[in-house]
Structure 1
Amino acid sequence: MNNELIMPVEISIKEKKKLSQGKVMQVVVFSRCTMIEVESSLNENYYLIYYKNNLVYGEKVEKIEKDSFIDKIRKIGIVLHSDHPFLSAIIPSQTATIPNKNKLFSQLQNQYSLQEVAYIATTLDSFFTKKQLSNVIYKIFYHYRRNGNFMQAFQIIKILANFAPDLNSAREIKNSLEFHSYMEFYTSSSLSTIQQKDSLFVEWHCFKYRLQPDEGKMLEGLLRKQDSFLTLLLFWMEKVEKYSKVTSIEAYTTMALQFVSMEKWIVTLDYLHINPFQVLPQTKSMIEEMLQEEHYETAALYLMNFLNALPDTYEEILHTLWEHLDPTFIATHIDTFMVMIQQLVLEDGEKQSEQRLLQLIGKLLETYDLKEVHEKLLPIQKSAPHSPVFRKINKMLTLLDDPDQMMELGQYYAEFKQYDEAIECFSWEMELYPDDPAPVSQLSKMYQNKGMVKEAFAYHQILDQMK
């Protein structure tokens, strides 16, 4: 994956009168819940819990306790880390306003069903004590039982028993004769039958066991029915990552483009080790548009990881990049571009490529010494063995350790616009032959090329005196 195309995702957190800016470090999706971990500029870790893309609650937490909701979903949820290119599409809002903690559950009851409130309560054990949350769930249970809604009451006590397995009273109520028939319904019925009575439980169950064939298929059906295409897309990505099995790429591309641009989707496919330029024909027109707008480096960044596996129809695009890319950019990514340059030099012929190679080698010499540059460019040299540029490099290597050849070596360095190395060579030559005006003349030229007028004039005066 090309990290140069990945920008960190930031989020603002409003907490009472305090505003914190932070970077999203991790997102975990589990059923209808999303957990977002944010590292603030003060290195504080905030955890935000969303339900159906609405912020429920969040706080700064120093340590996530074992077996808490956040700890569990990190193990069983769909996890995206900070380097995932699809991360920004999952963040519901760039600003998270933390609600009043004391009024939280009364507000939740105005937004969601009581069963959902009970389930949401189990996701907040990093911010409330288990006793506080259990009391909330108990109240909902007794509300249903008082009103004779025993199926709903059983659903709530089942949520509580799973949330607090050490709570004997909840376990005893769940296993009591009063709820035996409901227990029997859950243990003996098919998921499709249970779904008619308890869609929340079935979705939770299928999400937990989503990588099993039956549960996975049922989850896909549930998500499609709910128009939960973002979660469906994340599920598809997870399977691609785990099993390297790519299916329905065009259908999921159409789905993805509801949430991200084609450019972002290409980077996402790269992250999933899918070559978008092989499987999506429309990507070629996107790259061509970048070239028309002269965004050569951007186009190269998208293509970079696939240069050796592009369709033949991209040949003209590669020639355009080789012709227009800044030599500094190519030098920075020389290892990635090596095979492409090798092929293009072979196709274009030496004359067309000489100027580009001259510029490229000049840029490489700014970072690496002569021997390293020679070593790096050996594959290209094999494609153009008679290139005058490479003959110069090879000649420079023979002169490198010969103090009597510093004048010639300096002239070669000057051709590659490496004026500092050339100055060093001519200065050495001037010391060896103080009566020779040639190195003095070259020193004046080199300083002039560097824009150092004062130094250039000083050597010009010395040259006049010598004459």
Structure 2
Amino acid sequence: MNPMTIHVKQPKKDLALVPSRIVFYEQMQLVETFDDQSQCHMLFFYKQKYLTAVRTTRLKLHSYIARALKEGTAYESPHPFLQALIEMNTPLHKVSYPQLKKKIAGPYSRQEQAKVLTFFESFIPKKQLFQDMKSLFYQYRREGNMSGAYRVIRVMRDFAPNNKFVKEMANDLSYRELTNLYLEQSHTLMERDPLFKETYATFEDHQRLLEQEHRWVEASSHLLTHFYNQPTLENYQLYRAYLSRHFDCDSRTLLLEQMSQTIPSFPSVTEDLFQHYLVKENTDAAARLYTERELMLDEEQFKQMTTLLEKNRFHEDPVNFMPFMRRITAQHPEETRELLDAFLIRLLETMEIEQVHDSLKSFPKKSSLMRKVERMNEIREDLDCMQELGELYYGFHQLEKSIECFQMEMELKPSTPEPLRWLSKVYADKQMMDESKAYQQLCVDVQKWA
């Protein structure tokens, strides 16, 4: 997944921000970003809905956002969760604090509005935030909605636990019955207070709630955290099924890579990741995973892998495939003969013969082509063997190197027609017919003079 830039519209000049991580904490999602001046900007989301962006200079030590950064679940950018969250909220606009209060007044309850206001303690004076929460409390009180008022007080108690007003309201006799219901974690109360319900829900109920509210990015993170805490096959299959419903193949591959790094000993993740590499024809990554995790390929996987390598002829740096080839040829000596031959040819295209020879020393079994490489290494500096070396290079389809050998042989033995015949043949193979005919004629002349 490529690095992303997040564009945030604002009145004077739009922001181009590079995200560093996304943090999930309770109902909030927080995206930490940086502009081209390395200044930090925090993007706030509530239940996957974008709120605003705030330039950050410092954070209050015991603020909600500081707690979120410390206790929340963080994912480094780039990440599919981050990309999905941004895409579903584009375009993003930076709004002022008064605009933010209007923005959240429509879709959210007053309790949730109070909760959202707590996010901004490091940026808005605490006194101002407290007064706005107090206003929400009194709106419920004027309506006679004591349950709603008490829900706001509970938010205010978390925000300012030592405030005199909060203490008085929390201990008011009018709310004693509600206080007892919270202590009992009453099911009736669960339906009235969605934040309380979400906090104390079981894993299954919490997941169900997130899905009912279409908060599928949060649900994905929730499932992943559950799998990390309890890495069972059942939990993995549950998470894998959820990924298939919501993320494309590239995103699933990245998520599997991160899971594989976090829990390298969990075989199902490694197997699925290897299969993803095969589907995406990422042979370099598949070979590395096969070697590092000491995978055992079934017949179909072996066929897929060898077919891909034969198809692309080790187009990546063939040195990267050395551990893979060493292991797979040891496990499947008969079935990998042609693959090993193709690998040797690719090595000779990119390395000197001495390097190729040294690289192949650790291979357990010698093929006929490997023995030819050994012979080429033996005679590579022997001027009496340039003709043989050229023919061996030709057998490996290394036409340029074979030409060098035949030309040297021609210079060393000007009266010998054999290197001229080979030069004519090689240039014909290269479709350089003028050069081929010239060497052919030269060969005829040499034979006449002999």
Identify the residue that residue 305 of structure 1 maps to in structure 2: 289
User: Does the CA-based 8 Å contact 1:186-1:194 persist in structure 2?
Assistant: yes
1:152 corresponds, among 126, 148, 151, to 148
Matched, 1:382 2:364: yes
Identify the residue that residue 56 of structure 2 maps to in structure 1: 61
Per the normalisation by structure 2, the TM-score is 0.75
User: Does the CA-based 8 Å contact 1:48-1:58 persist in structure 2?
Assistant: yes
Q: Secondary structure at the match of 1:91?
A: helix
Q: Structure 1 regions of 5+ residues with no counterpart?
A: 1-5, 207-213
1:29 partner amino acid: F
User: Does the CA-based 8 Å contact 1:141-1:153 persist in structure 2?
Assistant: yes
Matched, 1:70 2:65: yes
Task: Tell me by how many angstroms 1:333 deviates.
Answer: 3.9
Q: Distance in 2 between matches of 1:413 and 1:48?
A: 61
Task: Tell me by how many angstroms 1:109 deviates.
Answer: 1.0
Change (3 A) 1:41 1:429: farther
Tell me the C-alpha RMSD between the 2 structures.
Answer: 4.6
Matched, 1:346 2:346: no
Q: Distance in 2 between matches of 1:370 and 1:59?
A: 60
Paired residues, what number? 436
Q: Distance in 2 between matches of 1:19 and 1:451?
A: 58
| 1:384-423 correspondence to structure 2 within 5 Å | 385=366, 387-399=367-379, 412=392, 416=396
Identify the residue that residue 46 of structure 1 maps to in structure 2: 41
1:397 partner amino acid: N
Q: Distance in 1 between matches of 2:33 and 2:296?
A: 37
User: Does the CA-based 8 Å contact 2:50-2:89 persist in structure 1?
Assistant: no
Moved more, 336-345 or 97-106: 336-345
Q: Structure 2 regions of 5+ residues with no counterpart?
A: 261-265
Identify the residue that residue 32 of structure 1 maps to in structure 2: 27
1:8 corresponds, among 3, 9, 14, to 3
User: Does the CA-based 8 Å contact 2:130-2:156 persist in structure 1?
Assistant: yes
Q: Distance in 2 between matches of 1:445 and 1:38?
A: 63
Identify the residue that residue 219 of structure 2 maps to in structure 1: 232
Change (3 A) 1:314 1:343: farther
- Structure 1 residues 374-420: Cα deviation after superposition (integer angstroms, max 9, x where no partner): 444445x424x2x2221122223334576776775566556556678
1:328 corresponds, among 315, 323, 342, to 315
Q: Secondary structure at the match of 2:234?
A: coil
Task: Tell me by how many angstroms 1:423 deviates.
Answer: 8.1
Q: Distance in 1 between matches of 2:14 and 2:427?
A: 54
2:347 corresponds, among 360, 364, 368, to 364
Identify the residue that residue 188 of structure 1 maps to in structure 2: 183
Task: Tell me by how many angstroms 1:119 deviates.
Answer: 0.4
Identify the residue that residue 104 of structure 1 maps to in structure 2: 100
Identify the residue that residue 3 of structure 1 maps to in structure 2: none
2:158 corresponds, among 155, 162, 171, to 162
User: Does the CA-based 8 Å contact 2:32-2:42 persist in structure 1?
Assistant: yes
Task: Tell me by how many angstroms 1:259 deviates.
Answer: 1.4
Change (3 A) 1:232 1:444: same
| 1:106-255 correspondence to structure 2 within 5 Å | 106-165=102-161, 168-178=163-173, 181=176, 184-185=179-180, 188-190=183-185, 192-203=187-198, 205-206=199-200, 215-255=202-242
Task: Tell me by how many angstroms 1:442 deviates.
Answer: 8.9
Task: Tell me by how many angstroms 1:122 deviates.
Answer: 1.0
- Structure 1 residues 279-301: Cα deviation after superposition (integer angstroms, max 9, x where no partner): 87xx97x999x6xxxx7x34775
User: Does the CA-based 8 Å contact 1:9-1:87 persist in structure 2?
Assistant: no
Identify the residue that residue 86 of structure 2 maps to in structure 1: 91
- Structure 1 residues 129-167: Cα deviation after superposition (integer angstroms, max 9, x where no partner): 3333222212212333344433322322321232234x5
- Structure 1 residues 200-244: Cα deviation after superposition (integer angstroms, max 9, x where no partner): 1332x34xxxxxxx7545533533554544423322212323443
Q: Which has the higher contact order (CA 8 A, sep 6+)?
A: 1
1:256 corresponds, among 217, 235, 243, to 243
User: Does the CA-based 8 Å contact 1:32-1:51 persist in structure 2?
Assistant: yes
Change (3 A) 1:357 1:342: closer
Change (3 A) 1:414 1:279: closer
Q: Distance in 2 between matches of 1:8 and 1:272?
A: 19
Q: Distance in 1 between matches of 2:39 and 2:384?
A: 63
User: Does the CA-based 8 Å contact 2:80-2:251 persist in structure 1?
Assistant: yes
- Structure 1 residues 418-458: Cα deviation after superposition (integer angstroms, max 9, x where no partner): 67877887899899x597889999999999999999x9999
Q: Secondary structure at the match of 1:382?
A: coil
Q: Distance in 1 between matches of 2:16 and 2:444?
A: 64
Identify the residue that residue 77 of structure 2 maps to in structure 1: 82
Per the normalisation by structure 1, the TM-score is 0.73
